[in-house]
Amino acid sequence: DTGVSQNPRHKITKRGQNVTFRCDPISEHNRLYWYRQTLGQGPEFLTYFQNEAQLEKSRLLSDRFSAERPKGSFSTLEIQRTEQGDSAMYLCASSLLGGQVNTGELFFGEGSRLTVL
């Protein structure tokens, strides 16, 4: 178990470009969450998946944002036509629903930091 892995760790892009982040959750974790965090604030919920189904999306997730988890394993978060306001840390977390030892704990990756120039 290597934990939640996120790539790339850092991304610098110009306004208007598209970017994609990848998240590899802990194996066999059936739930996957995306959060966004700006400086001085706590993480803000964006969306979550149970297996391959996207079950909830925050109002923060504008039409320029799309997330997928095609095979119920890794997930991608794409931002189209980036804006300077998209600059933030994008965090991924996974959890296991069900099982004997199940605290509902979310395991977070180290995040992907986006800077839009």
Partner 1 sequence: DAKTTQPPSMDCAEGRAANLPCNHSTISGNEYVYWYRQIHSQGPQYIIHGLKNNETNEMASLIITEDRKSSTLILPHATLRDTAVYYCIVRVGHYGGATNKLIFGTGTLLAVQP
Catalog residues that contact partner 1 under the rule CB under 8 A.
4, 31, 33, 35, 40-45, 48, 55-56, 91, 93, 95, 97-98, 102-111
**Residue 6 or 82 with smaller CB distance to partner 1:** 6
- By C-alpha distance, which of 37, 39, 29, 40 is closest to 5? 29
- Least Å from the CB of residue 81 to partner 1: 27
Q: How far apart are CA 65 and CA 20, in angstroms?
A: 10
- Least Å from the CB of residue 18 to partner 1: 24
Amino acid making up residue 18 = N
**Residue 91 or 116 with smaller CB distance to partner 1:** 91
Q: How far apart are CA 106 and CA 43, in angstroms?
A: 13
| Contact in structure between 87 and 79 (CB atoms under 8 Å) | no
**Residue 2 or 103 with smaller CB distance to partner 1:** 103
- Least Å from the CB of residue 104 to partner 1: 3
**Residue 74 or 108 with smaller CB distance to partner 1:** 108
- By C-alpha distance, which of 54, 53, 55, 33 is closest to 44? 33
- Least Å from the CB of residue 16 to partner 1: 28
Q: How far apart are CA 116 and CA 101, in angstroms?
A: 41
